[in-house]
Amino acid sequence: MGHDAVVMAGVDGSAPSLHALDWAAAHAAKVGWRLHIVCAYALPTFAAASLDGGYATLDDAAIRDGAQAVLDEALARVDDIGVPVTSALETGDPAGVLVEASRDVCLAVVGTRGRSGFAERILGTVSSALPAHAHCPTVVVPYKDGAELPIPITRIVVGVDGSPSAKGALKRAIEEAELWGAELTAVTGIPIGTGTGLLGWLPTSVDSETLLADCKAGLDVTVDRALEGHDITVRRHALDGTGAALLAEFSTAVDLVVVGTRGRGGFAGMLLGSTSQALLHHSACPVMVVPSRTQDEGLPPIAPWSAAG
């Protein structure tokens, strides 16, 4: 399967989705890809009861006009980014629409929580479902009132655990670092602290320093292999802690965190592992989730604008 050189942004008119659109537009302009904006809306499956005991007729045209207004606002917002911009107004569940559309694009971008989200839910349905099921890398951009967009990207951290999914994430992180001229740090974590750590069942002859040194050696091998053909420096850290907690901490000091969909120890039926799932809820910066399936689906390499086709 081939993917077009397109960055897709899902919008719903909310501040988080427009914030994510700005990120998508900046990335599209940097790499020279087309920006495709999608607004999807679902028609109610039941009619609302009217005051006289009958049923009110829902105006489908009014709903569509509202969605079109959202799309028009988004298009006006990115009118001068310097790359082609297209749009689509779709009927259907937004998460399902974006997942299906991800088959044909190279990157999907959404905000953390759009309209109709419950206050206690950090992530909305789309930003939870899309990274788990997308056919291309997905970026979830967190939103906070008054926060500046983390563009340009100057610092990237990638989670690495030796799994095929993490290796795909490392490959994409290297490409992003080359694109932006960003510093790249690869992190692997192992919870060896007392209480909830691993030392309770490890042989007494194995200490934490030895274990961390072994993890660092494995990380070095993985990174060195991924760097073949690339001329950048990658910092490496093997640290005590869970991957999600470590990457969430790093997210406060970097502009992009990159992870795979599922690492070691994940259940086969879970498309989004515990690390990437927890990170999406707690990261302070955008998170790029790279599905392992993209390694076999013909994604073109990231290239700066001057080299983009």
* Cα dihedral: 178, 182, 183, 189 (round 10): -80
Burial of residue 183 (CB within 10 Å: 0-12, 13-18, 19+) is middle
pLDDT for the residue 183: 98
Q: Which of 128, 145, 162 delimits the end of a domain?
A: 145
Residue 50 placed within a domain: no
CATH of the domain at 182: 3.40.50.620
According to the model, what pLDDT value does residue 42 have?
82
Mark whether 141 and 172 lie in a shared domain: no
pLDDT value at position 132?
A: 86
pLDDT of residue 219 exceeding 80:
yes
Query: If residue 107 lies in a helix (H) or strand (E), which one and from where to where?
Result: strand 107-111
Q: Mapping DSSP to helix (H, G, I), strand (E, B) and coil, where does residue 213 land? A: helix
Q: Which domain holds residue 9?
A: 1-45+60-145
Contacts of 272 (CB under 8 A, 6+ apart): 131, 132, 261, 262, 289
Rounded Cα distance, 307 and 309, in Å: 6
Give the model's pLDDT for residue 292: 78
Model confidence, pTM: 0.85
Alpha-carbon 114 to chain mean position: 16
| Beta-bridge mates of residue 139 | 109, 288
The total number of structural domains that make up the chain: 2
Residue 70 lies in a domain: yes
Q: Are residues 171 and 131 in the same domain?
A: no
Per-residue model confidence as pLDDT tens digits over 147-199: 889 999 999 999 998 788 889 999 999 999 999 999 999 999 888 764 455 45
- Distance, CA of 292 to CA of 165 (rounded, Å): 5
